[in-house]
Structure 1
Amino acid sequence: MSSAATTPGRRPLTLLIAAPRGFCAGVDRAITIVERAIAKYGVPVYVRHEIVHNKYVVEGLKAKGAIFVEELDEVPDDRPVVFSAHGVPKVVPQRAAERSLTFLDATCPLVSKVHRQAERQIEAGRHIAFIGHKGHPEVIGTFGQVPPGTMTLIESVEDAEAFIPPSDGNGLSFLTQTTLSVDDTADIAAVLQRRFPDIVAPKGEDICYATSNRQAAVKAIAGRAQAMLVIGAPNSSNSLRLVEVAERDGARAMLVQRAADISFEWLEGVDVLGLTAGASAPEILVREVVDALAARFDVVEEEIMTAVETVAFKLPRDLDAA
């Protein structure tokens, strides 16, 4: 990356930019599904819940003709509806089918994989300890794949220590939300495996590749940076985890949705600043933040590459040619 020319009177700032950062394959697929649906069906296209947790993205899709709602009964009978990347309980597509609605499922395939694992564990007669955050749409969607009472939410090491499984003699398994802290989740899983040696672990890593990669990139920067800016929404689980990872590794961190949210007083005395973006934040917001910093400092950019992502997910068949 290029560096800005030195300007007399402006303080130098080394900017360490994480790579990978920003959009993941699941987010890119979900946004494309909404755009293709608008192209195919015309406006408006309804979207149940925010398609991804990013205000800039949501507002951009609204401008193109998407209408965001929280419940299916807000969708007219004659318009299509898209389900968000976070996934929905089984009852939602069932109700859409009962109403003969045209619906498109933008659930991230990696979240769908967790849904299928949950179904298989219940079919095998196991109770599931689900590691995740209460109230997150992905957690609500995953709990909605299985009968009530067959899954218990575990949010912390303390929850794992206190967990008492049902006394029905059935086996145990655990699964996780895809956007958690890799380290925190490992700690919780270790407690469950210590307490219940026969507990069945997920087949493969539930935490998605993008979440893991972005956290690893932050770790590579945090040891060098005095502070870290994370671009993301306050309701974005993976973005909040990036803040936590940076702080744990020694850099104070701030979550910003875009450049206007930067507190320049907070940057007083910072000579080396890290910058990353959560999986729902577009690259245009990264460049906006860089430009805002360059307007005040003599910025020297350095990209810290820790992984190259080549993952891509297929679109629903009926949208391929839209």
Structure 2
Amino acid sequence: MTEQNPAKRPLKLLLAAPRGFCAGVDRAIKIVELALEKHGAPVYVRHEIVHNRFVVDSLKAKGAVFVDELDQVPDGGHVVFSAHGVPKSVPQNAQERGLAYLDATCPLVSKVHRQAERQVEAGRHIIFIGHAGHPEVIGTFGQVPAGSMSLVETVEDVANLAIANEDNLSFLTQTTLSVDDTAEIVEALQRRFPSIIGPKGEDICYATSNRQNAVKAIAGQCDLVIVIGAPNSSNSLRLVEVAERAGSKAHLVQRANDISMNWFDGVETLGLTAGASAPELLVREIIDSLANHFELDEQQVTTAEESIIFKLPREVAGAVA
């Protein structure tokens, strides 16, 4: 999107709100930044702290070193666990090696971990609704003994479940799922297993729900919706799906230069949002880039106000100026 177009045509831009960083992402990034301030570089981070290349690259520039596993962290190193959560074996391994670690797991993910432990302690088998291979799913399965949980991704998976004791079940969900898809899967579980026990509160986090509702509020009026987020970001991918279900074309992009001007043929109203790991800086980057081509009529559509802030771990809380 570098060419200048002298004859700008009007483009209505509907900005979804809430969008972008959630409290869990904000907290996780702060933990890495404060660890760097306190200990100096390098600070090691197991996996991407959040699913956003810009954020990861920014932290790398400050001295964070991202690793896949703890064996890549040298003895005496400081390590941070990502916002998605980790299996119990990871902090155990860190303790055995004498590594100083900080857990940046989102508190709402930690809540699901504790629920899983309680359900297993009560003797129930857990049906977990989530996406296979996602770090949050791996982390949650790693909270309980092997065989204690079964994963379902679709309504069809529910029909194919083979459960030994169908009268002693509970279900939990990944925090970044499609609200609508999850509701359908829960209904299918409750039809097949009438005695299944659900969580007391909604497992899908407030930020995921709010961002999906905000997209629903604008997508019906849009010819195209652009979602800023990473291809491995579950909550960002769900925003694309929500927009498409509402009848709009939708594209996931990471930066302004991912956008093709061919997308805008016949587009009079554009929707713009950002997943929970994408900073507002990238939203403004895209708006500035679009302004080179269009006469923008920018309007924000707000469906909720967010004021949640999560406490920092005590190990770094004192480093806050």
TM > 0.5: yes
TM-superposed CA distance for 1:160, in Å, is 1.1
Q: Of residues 286, 291, 296 in structure 1, which corresponds to 2:288?
A: 291
What one-letter code is carried by the residue in structure 2 that aligns with 1:150? Answer: S
* Count of aligned pairs: 315
Q: Of residues 77, 91, 94 in structure 1, which corresponds to 2:89?
A: 91
TM-superposed CA distance for 1:321, in Å, is 1.7
Secondary structure in 1 aligned to 2:44?
strand
Q: Which runs of 5 or more residues in structure 2 are unaligned?
A: none
TM-superposed CA distance for 1:268, in Å, is 1.0
What pairs with 1:55-70 in structure 2 (closer than 5 Å)?
A: 55-70=53-68
Q: Does 1:257 align with 2:260?
A: no
Residues of 2 paired with 1:307 and 1:33: CA distance? 27
1:22: which partner in 2? 20
Residues of 1 paired with 2:245 and 2:289: CA distance? 27
1:3: which partner in 2? none
1:182: which partner in 2? 179
Residues of 2 paired with 1:62 and 1:306: CA distance? 35
What pairs with 1:33-48 in structure 2 (closer than 5 Å)?
A: 33-48=31-46
Percentage of pairs with the same residue: 71
Q: Does the Cα contact within 8 Å between 1:128 and 1:173 map onto a contact in 2?
A: yes
Q: Does the Cα contact within 8 Å between 1:132 and 1:155 map onto a contact in 2?
A: yes
2:276: which partner in 1? 279
TM-superposed CA distance for 1:9, in Å, is 2.3
Q: Does the Cα contact within 8 Å between 1:125 and 1:170 map onto a contact in 2?
A: no
TM-superposed CA distance for 1:306, in Å, is 0.2
Residues of 1 paired with 2:231 and 2:275: CA distance? 11
Residues of 1 paired with 2:127 and 2:161: CA distance? 9
Q: Does the Cα contact within 8 Å between 2:130 and 2:151 map onto a contact in 1?
A: yes
Q: Does the Cα contact within 8 Å between 2:223 and 2:269 map onto a contact in 1?
A: yes
**Counterparts in 2 of 1:169 and 1:250: CA distance versus 1, 3 Å:** closer
Of 169-178 and 231-240, more deviation after overlay is shown by: 169-178
Q: Does the Cα contact within 8 Å between 1:157 and 1:188 map onto a contact in 2?
A: yes
Q: Does the Cα contact within 8 Å between 2:167 and 2:193 map onto a contact in 1?
A: no
Residues of 2 paired with 1:40 and 1:274: CA distance? 41
1:197: which partner in 2? 194
Secondary structure in 2 aligned to 1:276?
strand
Q: Does 1:238 align with 2:230?
A: no
TM-superposed CA distance for 1:8, in Å, is 7.3
Residues of 2 paired with 1:79 and 1:35: CA distance? 16
What one-letter code is carried by the residue in structure 2 that aligns with 1:21? Answer: R
Query: So what's the TM-score if we normalise by structure 2?
Result: 0.97
TM-superposed CA distance for 1:169, in Å, is 6.5
TM-superposed CA distance for 1:163, in Å, is 1.3
Q: Does 1:150 align with 2:145?
A: no
Residues of 2 paired with 1:80 and 1:57: CA distance? 19
1:163: which partner in 2? 161
1:218-252 deviation digits (Å, cap 9, x = unpaired): 00001101110000000000000000000001111
**Counterparts in 2 of 1:266 and 1:318: CA distance versus 1, 3 Å:** same
Secondary structure in 2 aligned to 1:96?
helix
What one-letter code is carried by the residue in structure 2 that aligns with 1:135? Answer: G
Q: Of residues 207, 227, 242 in structure 2, which corresponds to 1:210?
A: 207
Residues of 1 paired with 2:127 and 2:172: CA distance? 7
Q: Does the Cα contact within 8 Å between 1:238 and 1:279 map onto a contact in 2?
A: yes
2:113: which partner in 1? 115
Query: So what's the TM-score if we normalise by structure 1?
Result: 0.97
What one-letter code is carried by the residue in structure 2 that aligns with 1:311? Answer: I
Q: Does the Cα contact within 8 Å between 1:26 and 1:109 map onto a contact in 2?
A: yes
TM-superposed CA distance for 1:315, in Å, is 0.2
1:115-164 deviation digits (Å, cap 9, x = unpaired): 00000000000000000000000000000001111100000010012212
RMSD: 1.0
Secondary structure in 2 aligned to 1:265?
helix
Residues of 2 paired with 1:160 and 1:184: CA distance? 13
Q: Of residues 302, 305, 314 in structure 2, which corresponds to 1:305?
A: 302
Residues of 2 paired with 1:204 and 1:186: CA distance? 14
Residues of 2 paired with 1:142 and 1:153: CA distance? 11
Q: Does the Cα contact within 8 Å between 1:87 and 1:106 map onto a contact in 2?
A: yes
1:162-201 deviation digits (Å, cap 9, x = unpaired): 2121x25660000000000000000000000011110000
Q: Does the Cα contact within 8 Å between 1:214 and 1:242 map onto a contact in 2?
A: yes
Q: Which runs of 5 or more residues in structure 1 are unaligned?
A: 1-6
Residues of 2 paired with 1:145 and 1:189: CA distance? 22
Q: Does the Cα contact within 8 Å between 2:46 and 2:79 map onto a contact in 1?
A: yes
Q: Does the Cα contact within 8 Å between 1:127 and 1:170 map onto a contact in 2?
A: no
